[in-house]
Amino acid sequence: MSRVHDALRRAEQLGISPVANRPELHGRSGDVPSGLANDVVLSGERLTALLDDQLEGVLDRVEEIPYSPAEEAHLISLESPAEMPGEEFRSLRTRLNHLQTMQKLHTIVVTSASPAEGKTFTAFNLALTQAQLSENPVLMADLDLRRPSVHRHLQLDRGLGFSDYIQGNAPLEKCLRKLRGTSLYLMTAGSPVKNPLEILGAQETKVTIEQRLPRLFNWAILDSPPLLFSADANLLATLTDGTLIVVRVGATTYDNIVRAMQTLCENNVLGIVVNGARAQELYSKFTYYYSKTD
């Protein structure tokens, strides 16, 4: 093993996340940071300074795209704040923002027990409402590398995305897109990969989720596969600050919820989001109020 690789291994053993094979963290193409050369391990402070310096200006170089949601995606309207689905997600946003004042909370994985329970719908709408609140950057990232769908919600092609960045095939700014007129950034799943779990389990993914994303975004909301159908969401839950589990009324069983919770290696569940409730059960009083005050 080369001296550089040995230094990286020792850095990991000391609890310092190494930085390697990332074009934006190198002084010149192919170089490693000077602190890792000659078998020298970066201190935590120096690594932090290096990350902050090299990530500076990344978001300014991201391409902007129009907000053009697909009708079947059921994304909230950015122009109609009084619509009920948006109000429900703003309520969820308020709870999460309150939690953020009490604990470290910047990265969230949104998952479900089984497919078709509304996890992507929930993750995307939560990201939209977070971006509406302030100018602080918010990220919506598709980490469901098995059946990605975030790009289809905005009628986009997959393009460059998460897998391309993690594998070092494209710089970060090329793997992001910004919704015009908002502070919301989008990262698609990127190019198809043969083994998604290997990509998610890579050291590069750990460094990106735990260190890079919190430095760039006030909130990073990650869509993932269902808990009971792969180990992906379980792995992501160990890397993020919190987990939201989406359940669908009339579809998700109690046993599946229990089994899904039991699969988690780290129980950092922030809460359960109920999807698919009847409008007349939840929204009648709200609709009455707004119809009387408009």
pLDDT at 4: 40
Please report how the helices 284-293 and 84-100 are oriented relative to each other, as an axis angle in degrees rounded to 10. Answer: 100
Name 18's Cβ contacts closer than 8 Å, sequence gap at least 6. 7, 8, 11, 12, 36, 42, 203, 207
The predicted-structure confidence for 224-266, as pLDDT tens digits, reads as follows 999 999 999 999 999 999 999 999 988 888 899 999 988 898 7
Read off the pTM: 0.79
**Domains recognised in the chain with CATH numbers:** 3-56 (no CATH), 60-293 (3.40.50.300)
DSSP codes of every residue in the chain = --HHHHHHHHHHHTTPPP--S-GGG-SSTTPPPTTTGGGPPPPHHHHHHHHHHHHTTTGGGSEEE-----GGG-PPPSS-TTSHHHHHHHHHHHHHHHHHTTS---EEEEEESSSSSSHHHHHHHHHHHHHHH-SS-EEEEE---SS--HHHHTT----S-HHHHHTTSS-GGGG-EEETTSSEEEE---S--S-HHHHHTSHHHHHIIIIIHHHH-SEEEEE---TTT-SHHHHHHHHSSEEEEEEETTTS-HHHHHHHHHH-SS--EEEEEEE---HHHHSHHHHHHHHHH-
pLDDT at 14: 46
pLDDT at 6: 47
Name 102's Cβ contacts closer than 8 Å, sequence gap at least 6. none
pLDDT at 234: 95
Q: Which residues pair with 144 in a beta bridge?
A: none
The single-letter code of the amino acid at 189 is A
Q: Which residues pair with 107 in a beta bridge?
A: 220
pLDDT at 108: 97
Token pair, residue 203, equals: 């050291």
pLDDT at 47: 63
**What is the mean pLDDT for each group of 10 consecutive residues in the chain (294 residues)?**
44 46 43 42 62 84 94 82 73 94 96 92 95 92 96 94 96 96 96 96 96 96 95 95 93 89 88 78 45 44
pLDDT at 82: 59
pLDDT at 233: 95
The predicted-structure confidence for 91-111, as pLDDT tens digits, reads as follows 999 999 999 999 999 999 999
